[in-house]
Structure 1
Amino acid sequence: MIPQGDPSTQDAQVRPQSLMLSFLGVYVLNRGVAVFSGSVIDVFARVGVSEEAVRSTLTRMVKRDLLARHRHGRRMYFGLTARSAAVLEDGEHRVWRSGVVNDDWDGTWTMVGFSVPESWRSQRHDLRSRLVWGGFGPLQNGLWVAPGVVDVPHLVDDLNLTEHLKVFLARTAKPTEADQIVHTAFDIPAIASRYHTFLHRWDRDRPLPDAPDDLARQLLLHTEWLQLVRQDPRLPAEHLPEGWPAIRAEQVFRALAEAYQRPAWSIAESVLDTIPVEDP
């Protein structure tokens, strides 16, 4: 999925749907357009995604109500749905407004207890994925915790599991310490390692030298960063190790995103075929 040849590009495989969401977030969200499938194929070829994979991803996302088809003449265009717009807006908030360090935590935890039948494997997987996205980590069997106040209904309402959940706001009491919660529920070394991997690839004078252009770099940068923040629970700063790599990683991301924006948009304007549609 990524140009090879430079060691900084290793282990950077990303799914076509993750790339698609990044592309839609940058070039479709809040712009009142749908984009021609052929031009999406052109963009994704820059990052090594085949035409077959693009078409399969578009079809799958339509079936999941993440894309809507719009026929214009003999061409098929794809625009957002209310569901995908909400997903992308949430991602945009996490990337641009939340920040990766929680430096204003007041000691409150949101706790979610759940009991889902073992036979509901798909529902259990979806619930856990949503909880991770919401900043939760497993404290013990069936009990997950996140720093701060989390809007759990907004996070999981469409999963139809409300009757299987118990949600509490809590604070620690002796002998339990907040630091114990952080290091029990969250894999701090694994989170740090992901940021170090990002820095190894992007914190250099000329990242991804084998990529064909800055549109490709922009798409890969945004996709990898969104995957990082999706897995980062934004733990309280006072409970993180000194020199936490997320701080430098966010600086690198923002600097590169700004550097790529103008040249990438110039390329995109010459490649993308869009039609106006109503925003969902």
Structure 2
Amino acid sequence: MTKDAVDGLEPALEGEVRLPRMQQGQRPQHLLVTLLGDYWFGRSEHLPSAALVALLGEFGITQVAARAALSRLARRGLLDTSKEGRRTYYALTARASAVLGDGVQRIMSFGTGTRKWDGVWRVAVFSVSEDRRDLRHAARSRLRWLGFAPLYDGVWVSPHDVAAEAASTLADLGVANYSVLAASVPPGIPQGLNPLAAWDLEELRAGYDRFVAEREGLLERALSGTITVAEALVCRTEIMDTWRHFPNLDPELPTELLPADWPLKRAHDLFAQLYDHLGPLAEIRVRQIVSRFSADLGGLVRHHTTRSVLARSDHG
């Protein structure tokens, strides 16, 4: 992990859509956005609020908490609302769908080994006065999202070519004193601290190993066909909820700098197998729930796979 753990999605600049923060445990707002992204992505039809409340009920969310989550998401501009008689209907706004789509592609591509290293580190150096702690926090959060980590206080490094994004972000935030540089480690010169030290490799390894160890048995059950549709929905959502944290902790560090037995690929392969294999079963469960309130809308429920998301990205 980075020295400063991150628990949220990309912080929003003024006027941007910000999705609910990613936190462990059942958070109704974040959970609902995840479910809509997994089974209603790209659809403009509005779903009955009762169907969404019932869907959250599969995860132990009470009706009161579910309806409160719907209202808050609507107030934040993430959900459009419509009325038909006394019934209320909801759908993701176009802007929320766009942000969610970008996030899903980032999550699905993470660990595929498609990011190549040019041997150059990007370095963001900035200074914010003590009385602007809010600005300092925002700058750090945005840099983490871009894949930077703090090597020293005020000196952040990334192995990827995100210099332009970092400079634009710091300028947009109003950070006056900053520089963004490209640098390499000179061969044969002792280093007080290697740039790779900005990440806690032992903790990252432990996280990937734990992800695999806790889910290998689930994959065996999935492949043997002993998982119910209700269980598939809950397990698939939990897998996504856990996996989506890794890109915020690891910018997909270059393989050239990592041990040969680095566990990211193994963890990604398990994630992709489980997410894709459980998809059809989970879709059935979501369709059953939505169909209780609208058979026509229930028939529109669809799941996507890691491969279909990446294919959309390739053709987008």
TM-score, normalised via structure 1 length: 0.79
Moved more, 189-198 or 14-23: 14-23
- Which structure would you say has the larger Rg? 2
What secondary structure is seen at the aligned counterpart in 2 of 1:33?
coil
1:181 matched to 2:198? The reply is: no
What secondary structure is seen at the aligned counterpart in 1 of 2:43?
coil
Structure number with the bigger relative contact order (C-alpha 8 A, sep ≥ 6) is: 1
Cα distance in structure 1, aligned partners of 2:32 and 2:234: 12
1:7 aligns with none
How many residues are paired up?
264
Work out which of the residue numbers 248, 251, 255 in structure 1 matches 2:266: 248
Shift of 1:58: 2.7
1:54 to 1:128, Cα distance in 2 relative to 1, 3 A? farther
Aligned pairs (5 A) from 1:144-183? 144-150=156-162, 153=165, 157=169, 160-164=172-176, 166-174=178-186, 175=189, 180-183=194-197
Aligned pairs (5 A) from 1:39-58? 39-58=51-70
Cα distance in structure 1, aligned partners of 2:269 and 2:29: 26
Work out which of the residue numbers 259, 267, 271 in structure 1 matches 2:289: 271
Shift of 1:78: 2.4
1:36 to 1:250, Cα distance in 2 relative to 1, 3 A? same
Cα distance in structure 2, aligned partners of 1:139 and 1:236: 17
1:196 matched to 2:209? The reply is: yes
Shift of 1:234: 0.8
Moved more, 202-211 or 213-222: 202-211
What residue identity is the alignment partner of 1:249?
Answer: A
Work out which of the residue numbers 92, 97, 101 in structure 1 matches 2:109: 97
1:225 matched to 2:243? The reply is: yes
Shift of 1:250: 0.7
2:309 aligns with none
Work out which of the residue numbers 125, 140, 143 in structure 1 matches 2:152: 140
What residue identity is the alignment partner of 1:188?
Answer: L
Shift of 1:98: 4.2
Shift of 1:186: 1.0
1:61 to 1:224, Cα distance in 2 relative to 1, 3 A? same
Percent identity of equivalent pairs: 31
What secondary structure is seen at the aligned counterpart in 2 of 1:213?
helix
Cα distance in structure 1, aligned partners of 2:236 and 2:167: 28
Q: 8 Å contact 1:101–1:236 — kept in the other structure? A: no
> Which runs of 5 or more structure 1 residues have no equivalent in the other structure?
1-11
1:24 to 1:236, Cα distance in 2 relative to 1, 3 A? same
Shift of 1:195: 1.6
Q: 8 Å contact 1:111–1:169 — kept in the other structure? A: yes
